């Protein structure tokens, strides 16, 4: 019957006369979507369908279904109409301190009582078997009952506490008898014994006699004694290094004085002077207290560097790299083996250490006077170490002899303990077999009880499920909660729980107070219940197969904004099920919101693609409701592009066509800016308008928009936010400024959007592009507009060497040429070129960076660094006890700074100039 329905004939309320509304005028029309502003009659239409569904007319409203010949037709019993609107919500979902009203779903109820009776009998039988298994298991727990494993364990323990425990303690030298534990019982009982008791006793006596012959020694020396390792000829290498002559450079008078100080052993004073004068902050000599200039400082440092040349550094490094054998092991605990030998070893170690100290003194002498050779012959350290190793080898031989004797004793002791256990095994043989047998029977009884308990639990749970179905609530709650999970994309975000014959609302498992339930959440619960109610009294296997007309009034726009995506997805899911379930079913959507209208159009379009050319073609119609009639929307979404209309309104106002727009233009500007920032940047205009990257994208007009953008975001809150909080009004701030100012603001908005995304403006209002381009050219450029253009300039060094943002360049020092660079950056000390893309996009390849000198820098701050002879533009990072120089470009791996590396912080980058 539903396939014959063309639409609705209605009279009353918004429809002053009888009006025929054709929502499904053609064959295979399955979906109709109606857009109408508030007051256009949508609620009246949904109430009309409700009256038809309930077969109740009122004095104020009459309605009937019509076929394609406009004849009135009645609703047959096998066809149903379901209406979702505000009235439905108010009547079906009431939230108060007692919870929700009753929700009923009947389905799959065939022979339910017979199943309940059957499972009641099964539960009684399972419980009886469970009780019998419980009683049987309890008998195994009585220690006085031969069925219990503990009974036989006590027998075994009593036997072992006699001969075995006494003998075991005597063998080990213990005064107290050994304990009989469950582990001991398992070990002795599990032995495999082939000898007789007499054979074992004879073997025990012989082994005991052998053990008595071995002395009782308690000391042990498990660690072998090794010799001291050294390289042949290492003494000659040391003497050659000490005698090595470092060539003196050709020196000036001052450099000769520096060399003289070094040769006289005062090299540390020279190095300290170098460090003092390398500090740029030093303006007074710390030695003579006279003022010094930069030229004198550089000259003195160069003189010191000339004397302390590379050969000196390399030779000092060679001297410091000399290492000697270590003698850290303590041999005093070997005194019991051979006290005299240990004393000889200790004396020889002292002799070796004295010789090493002589070498160390000579090395320090050479380090203090690097140009003076130290001539000495080998003093016999190698020979002393060889003599020490001979003594250590003798001590190791004595240690090994002692260990071998102990090992023989331990082996005899183990054999004796095992023989004692074998004798005990023969003593407890039958009792242990009885113990194992009763353990197996007890485990079988435990397994049987677990099986019976599982049967009781499963039967009980199934019986509860059947009883829940009988009360017609179980399936309804499950379906509603599944629908809520679907909408919120989260399990348990909102759910319904049956407790004490009442339905309670839960959020993530916690009770929700009625006052904390939002209007949107209430409406979502109502919508989920609505689709659950459609399925009432249907068999599970035949859901959605009934013929039905579903009417839904404002299904999305009345919900919380953040849940619209979930509602749209849920509606698409239900729409598909209804249309697939029965080829005659139809759906009518009514809405006052354009965005909802477009969302519903998308659902309809997807249904058309889904069905294709099948017998269940889901053809859709789109209408506008106005003036007691509906008009087909042939162009669909393009006709109702509200955003495009807003842009066109702003352009018309900017060009002087202000008629009828004066009071609404302010809100139109706000809404278009919010939409633009959301579509293009995914955030509000307040965040976009002051974003440095956005300002940078404005190019030569960035200063103008950066300083005047306040007019575009003056109200602080977006149109949508104001509407939510109930203070929305088109009579906003723009009502109180002049028409010329509002026109100029309209131009600024369009130019702002065009500068950021010209293709976006061109696609929405192409006829306005040429005029907007003219307005943009009239906007002051940064050079004309920037109020800092006449600010006082200063010059800083711009070094000729590129600062590498990629692989690194040469060291930055005083010999690098530079040019004077003019800048208005107040806290910059010098500037560097950047080569490489590792710090893009913030620091592009080829840019100039201004650096403020500082010796320390926080993690995550871009700076200039010196690392092992190269200069880098990076960010410092301390992580897991390590130090890294990191890039912004993900294509570059962090550079780890290792121990021994030279890392210097030149300073923080305070400005990037492209």
Q: Is the pLDDT of residue 98 over 70?
A: no
The packing angle between helices 197-213 and 381-470, to 10°, is 140
212-216, 485-489, 535-539 — which is least confidently predicted? 212-216
Residues near 881 by beta carbon (within 8 Å), at least 6 away in sequence: none
Q: Is the pLDDT of residue 239 over 90?
A: yes
Burial class (CB in 10 A: 0-12, 13-18, 19+), 216: exposed
| Biggest CA pair distance of the chain | 130
Residue 354 has what pLDDT? Answer: 94
Residue 177 has what pLDDT? Answer: 92
Burial class (CB in 10 A: 0-12, 13-18, 19+), 176: exposed
- What is the pLDDT of the chain when averaged over all its residues? 79
Q: Is the pLDDT of residue 706 over 50?
A: yes
Per-residue pLDDT of 29-38, as tens digits, reads 888 888 877 7
Percent of the chain with pLDDT over 90: 21
Do residues 751 and 724 lie in contact, with contact meaning Cβ atoms separated by under 8 Å? no
Tokens standing for residue 214: 């071995």
- Higher-pLDDT residue of 549 and 541 is 549
Q: Binning pLDDT at 50, 70 and 90, where does residue 657 land?
A: confident
Residue with tokens 């498990």: 222
How many of the other CB atoms lie within 10 Å of CB of 139?
Answer: 12
Residue 425 has what pLDDT? Answer: 93
Give me the mean pLDDT over the 540-552 stretch.
81
Q: Is the pLDDT of residue 96 over 70?
A: no
- The DSSP element (H or E) to which 233 belongs, if any, is none
Per-residue pLDDT of 820-834, as tens digits, reads 888 888 888 888 888
Do residues 857 and 863 lie in contact, with contact meaning Cβ atoms separated by under 8 Å? yes
Residue 361 has what pLDDT? Answer: 93
Residue 744 has what pLDDT? Answer: 85
Give me the mean pLDDT over the 698-706 stretch.
77
426/418 Cα distance (integer angstroms)? 13
Q: Most confidently modeled of 80-84, 116-120, 259-263?
A: 80-84
Cis geometry, peptide bond prior to residue 841 (ω within 30 degrees of 0) = yes
Burial string for 91-103 (b: 16+ CB within 10 Å, else e) reads ebbebeeebbeeb
Percent of the chain with pLDDT over 70: 81
Residue 445 has what pLDDT? Answer: 92
578/543 Cα distance (integer angstroms)? 9
Residue 537 has what pLDDT? Answer: 64
The packing angle between helices 564-581 and 474-488, to 10°, is 130
Residue 108 has what pLDDT? Answer: 39
Q: Is the pLDDT of residue 405 over 70?
A: no
518/684 Cα distance (integer angstroms)? 24
Residue 717 has what pLDDT? Answer: 34
Residue 812 has what pLDDT? Answer: 58
Q: Is the pLDDT of residue 447 over 90?
A: yes
Residue 446 has what pLDDT? Answer: 92
- Look up the pTM and report it: 0.37
Q: Is the pLDDT of residue 545 over 50?
A: yes
Per-residue pLDDT of 119-166, as tens digits, reads 889 999 999 999 999 998 888 888 888 889 999 999 999 999 988 999
692/593 Cα distance (integer angstroms)? 35
277/285 Cα distance (integer angstroms)? 8
Q: Most confidently modeled of 287-291, 505-509, 583-587, 614-618?
A: 583-587
Per-residue pLDDT of 707-759, as tens digits, reads 665 445 443 333 333 332 222 333 344 444 677 778 888 888 899 888 888 88
Q: Is the pLDDT of residue 618 over 90?
A: no
User: Which of 116, 102, 112, 108 lies closest to 498, judged by CA?
Assistant: 102
Q: Is the pLDDT of residue 682 over 70?
A: no
DSSP secondary structure string for all residues of 552-582: EESSSTTS-GGGHHHHHHHHHHHHHHHHHH-
How many of the other CB atoms lie within 10 Å of CB of 342?
Answer: 19
Burial class (CB in 10 A: 0-12, 13-18, 19+), 873: buried
354/331 Cα distance (integer angstroms)? 19
458/885 Cα distance (integer angstroms)? 62
Give me the mean pLDDT over the 304-330 stretch.
83
- Higher-pLDDT residue of 518 and 153 is 153
Give me the mean pLDDT over the 203-227 stretch.
75
Secondary structure of 401-418 in HEC code, one letter for each residue? HHHHHHHHHHHHHHHHHH
Give me the mean pLDDT over the 666-680 stretch.
77
Residue 48 has what pLDDT? Answer: 87
CA distances 43 to 50, 128, 277, 838, Å, are: 10, 62, 89, 61
Q: Is the pLDDT of residue 344 over 90?
A: yes
557/722 Cα distance (integer angstroms)? 16
Give me the mean pLDDT over the 638-659 stretch.
79
How many of the other CB atoms lie within 10 Å of CB of 833?
Answer: 18
DSSP secondary structure string for all residues of 438-493: HHHHHHHHHHHHHHHHHHHHHHHHHHHHHHHHHTT-HHHHHHHHHHHHHHHTSTTS
Distance between start and end Cα atoms, the chain: 73
User: Which of 371, 177, 348 lies closest to 266, judged by CA?
Assistant: 371
332/338 Cα distance (integer angstroms)? 10
85-99, 148-162, 282-296, 653-667 — which is least confidently predicted? 85-99
Secondary structure of 30-66 in HEC code, one letter for each residue? EEEEEECCCCCCHHHHHHHHHHHHHCCCCCCCEEEEE
Residue 34 has what pLDDT? Answer: 86
Sign of CA dihedral 852, 858, 860, 866: positive
- Higher-pLDDT residue of 615 and 403 is 403
Do residues 395 and 225 lie in contact, with contact meaning Cβ atoms separated by under 8 Å? yes
571/496 Cα distance (integer angstroms)? 20
Residue 104 has what pLDDT? Answer: 36
Tokens standing for residue 908: 């923080």
Tokens standing for residue 584: 């005659």
Residue 581 has what pLDDT? Answer: 82
């Amino acid at each position: 019957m539903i396939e014959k329905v063309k639409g609705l004939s209605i009279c009353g309320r918004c429809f002053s006369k009888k009006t025929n509304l054709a929502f499904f005028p053609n064959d295979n029309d399955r979906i109709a979507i109606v857009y109408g502003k508030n007051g256009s009659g949508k609620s009246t239409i949904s109430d009309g369908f409700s009256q038809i569904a309930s077969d109740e007319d009122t004095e104020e409203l009459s309605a009937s279904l019509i076929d394609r010949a406009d004849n009135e037709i009645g609703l047959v019993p096998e066809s149903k109409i379901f209406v979702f609107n505000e009235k439905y919500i108010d009547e079906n979902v009431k939230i108060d301190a007692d919870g929700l009203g009753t929700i009923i779903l009947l389905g799959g109820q065939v022979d339910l009582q017979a199943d309940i009776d059957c499972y009641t009998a099964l539960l009684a039988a399972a419980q009886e078997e469970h009780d019998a298994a419980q009683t049987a298991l309890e008998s195994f727990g009585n220690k006085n009952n031969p069925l219990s494993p503990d009974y036989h364990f006590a027998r075994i323990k009593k036997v072992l506490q006699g001969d075995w425990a006494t003998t075991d303690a005597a063998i080990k030298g213990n005064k107290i008898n050994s304990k009989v534990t469950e582990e001991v019982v398992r070990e002795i009982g599990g032995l495999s014994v082939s000898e007789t008791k007499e054979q074992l006793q004879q073997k025990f006596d012989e082994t005991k006699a052998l053990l008595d012959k071995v002395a009782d020694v308690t000391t042990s020396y498990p660690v072998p004694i090794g010799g001291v390792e050294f390289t042949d000829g290492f003494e000659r290498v040391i003497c050659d290094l000490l005698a090595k002559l470092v060539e003196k450079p050709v020196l000036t008078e001052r450099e000769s004085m520096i060399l003289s100080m070094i040769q006289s052993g005062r090299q540390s004073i020279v190095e300290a002077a170098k460090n003092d004068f390398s500090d740029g902050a030093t303006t007074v000599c710390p030695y003579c207290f006279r003022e010094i200039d930069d030229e004198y400082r550089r000259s003195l440092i160069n003189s010191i560097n000339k004397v302390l040349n590379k050969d000196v550094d390399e030779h000092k490094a060679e001297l410091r790299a000399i290492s000697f054998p270590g003698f850290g092991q303590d041999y005093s605990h070997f005194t019991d083996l051979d006290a005299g030998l240990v004393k000889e070893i200790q004396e020889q170690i002292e002799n070796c250490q004295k010789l090493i100290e002589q070498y160390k003194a000579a090395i320090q002498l050479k380090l203090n006077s690097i140009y003076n050779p130290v001539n000495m012959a080998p003093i016999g350290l190698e020979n002393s170490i060889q003599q020490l190793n001979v003594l250590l080898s003798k001590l190791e031989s004595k240690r090994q002899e002692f260990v071998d004797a102990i090992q023989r004793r331990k082996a005899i002791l183990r054999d004796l303990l095992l023989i004692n256990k074998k004798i005990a095994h023969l003593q407890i043989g039958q009792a242990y077999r009885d113990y194992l047998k009763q353990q197996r029977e007890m485990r079988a009884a435990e397994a049987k009880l677990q099986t019976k308990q599982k049967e009781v639990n499963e039967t009980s749970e199934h019986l509860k499920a059947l009883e829940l179905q009988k009360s017609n609530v179980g399936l309804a709650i499950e379906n509603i909660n599944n629908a809520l999970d679907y909408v919120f994309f989260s399990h348990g975000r909102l759910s319904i729980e049956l407790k004490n014959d009442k339905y309670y609302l839960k959020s993530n498992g916690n009770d929700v107070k009625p006052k904390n339930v939002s209007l949107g959440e209430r409406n979502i619960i109502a919508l989920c219940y609505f689709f659950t109610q459609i399925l009432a009294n249907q068999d599970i296997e035949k859901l959605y197969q009934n013929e039905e007309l579903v009417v839904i009034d404002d299904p999305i726009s009345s919900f919380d904004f953040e849940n619209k995506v979930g509602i749209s997805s849920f509606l698409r899911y239900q729409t598909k099920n209804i249309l697939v379930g029965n080829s005659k079913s139809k759906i009518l959507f009514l809405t006052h919101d354009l965005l909802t209208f477009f969302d519903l159009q998308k659902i309809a379009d997807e249904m058309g693609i889904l069905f294709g050319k099948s017998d269940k073609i889901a053809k859709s119609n789109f209408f506008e409701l106005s003036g007691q009639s509906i008009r087909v929307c042939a162009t669909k979404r393009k006709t109702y592009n509200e955003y495009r209309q807003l842009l066109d309104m702003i352009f018309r106002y900017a060009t002087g066509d202000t008629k009828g727009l004066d009071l609404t233009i302010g809100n139109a500007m706000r809404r278009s800016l919010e939409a633009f920032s959301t579509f293009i940047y995914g955030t509000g205009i307040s965040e976009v308008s002051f974003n440095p990257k956005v300002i940078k994208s404005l190019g030569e007009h960035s200063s103008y928009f950066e300083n005047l953008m306040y007019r575009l975001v003056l109200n602080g809150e977006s149109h949508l936010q104001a509407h939510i909080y109930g203070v929305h009004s088109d009579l906003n701030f723009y009502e109180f400024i002049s028409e010329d100012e509002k026109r100029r603001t309209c131009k600024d908005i369009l130019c702002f959007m065009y500068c950021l995304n010209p293709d976006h403006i061109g696609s929405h209002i192409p006829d306005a592009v040429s005029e907007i381009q003219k307005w943009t050219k009239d906007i002051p450029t940064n050079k004309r507009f920037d109020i800092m253009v006449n600010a006082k300039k200063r010059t800083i060094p711009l070094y000729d060497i590129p600062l590498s943002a990629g692989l690194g360049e040469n060291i930055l020092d005083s010999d690098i040429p530079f040019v004077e660079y003019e800048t208005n950056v107040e806290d910059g000390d010098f500037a560097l070129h950047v080569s490489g893309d590792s710090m893009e996009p913030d620091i592009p390849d080829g840019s100039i960076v201004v650096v403020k000198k500082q010796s320390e820098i926080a993690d995550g701050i871009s700076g200039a660094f010196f690392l092992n002879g190269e200069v880098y533009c990076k960010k410092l990072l301390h992580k897991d006890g390590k130090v890294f120089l990191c890039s912004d470009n993900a294509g570059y791996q962090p550079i780890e700074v290792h121990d021994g590396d030279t890392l210097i912080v030149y300073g923080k980058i305070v400005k990037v100039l492209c």
